[in-house]
Amino acid sequence: MTPNIGIYIIGDEILSGKRQDKHLTKVIELLSVRGLQLAWANYLGDIPEQITSSLKASMARSKAHGEIVFSFGGIGATPDDFTRQCAADAAGVAIERHTGAVAEIEAQYGESAYPKRVLMADFPKGCDLIPNPINRVAGFGINQHYFVPGFPEMSHPMVEWVLETYYSHLFHTQNYVEDSILVSEAGESDLIDLMNHMLSQYPMLKLFSLPQSNQRRTTELGMKGESEQVKLAMNALKSGITALGYPWQNI
């Protein structure tokens, strides 16, 4: 099975509204064109303990299940950038200056790389570099976690590079589809028993329910997963809705 793919979006500026997140929709797009899906997304403030504990948990899942994670933000050199140290702590390794990252920064900035810019070459020991096509200040990867800047113009090409370099064997390998119907005159509460029945009959699929804000109490109801299973499940779902007496239509 294709491993789950998740993202962390880190920074108080996102949570305070000073910056608008541009990563979530872009990652979904980058994955979708490659036949992949995003399994989860977490927003984290600049709280080292929270960042470290989250990374420890997802690194454990990476080790056990091959989970792939991208992390945006917090890898600069200012006092409020904690992600590099948190990644090292989560991985149980020391921070050390990466000679390859130093070379990239020196090539871009020359003598002005010192004394501050070079701090952005201090990475968890044993990590791999992610090239930055904009200013050559690299990101890094460790334990199938890939850490890139918060700036979209830098980070999005870096995510593409990671996908193309390490995970092209996963592209378009999933026979994955999503299908749904619109059910009228029914709220979600009217459909819960049927939803539970569907999940018991098709445990390998995911069910989703999206109520619409209109006067007809319309609910979008659907399944997603392996295509043949989804086809069978949708036929059963439609029969179940009909048996309950609610009108429905294909989307």
List the Cα angle 93/94/96 in 5-degree steps: 130
Note the helical H segments in 92-226: 99-109, 152-166, 188-201
Q: What is the CA radius of gyration of the chain?
A: 22
- Are 230 and 179 spatial neighbours (Cβ–Cβ below 8 Å)? yes
Neighbours of 172 (CB within 10 A): 11
Q: How far apart are CA 37 and CA 248, in angstroms?
A: 28
Residue pLDDT, tens place only, 160-179: 999 999 999 999 998 889 99
Residue pLDDT, tens place only, 52-65: 999 999 999 999 99
The pTM of this model reads 0.89
Neighbours of 204 (CB within 10 A): 9
Q: Considering the chain, what percentage of its residues have pLDDT values greater than 90? A: 95
User: CB under 8 Å, gap of 24 or more: what pairs does 216-219 form?
Assistant: 216/184, 216/185, 217/184, 217/185, 217/186, 217/187, 218/182, 218/183, 218/184, 218/186, 219/182, 219/183, 219/186, 219/187, 219/188, 219/191
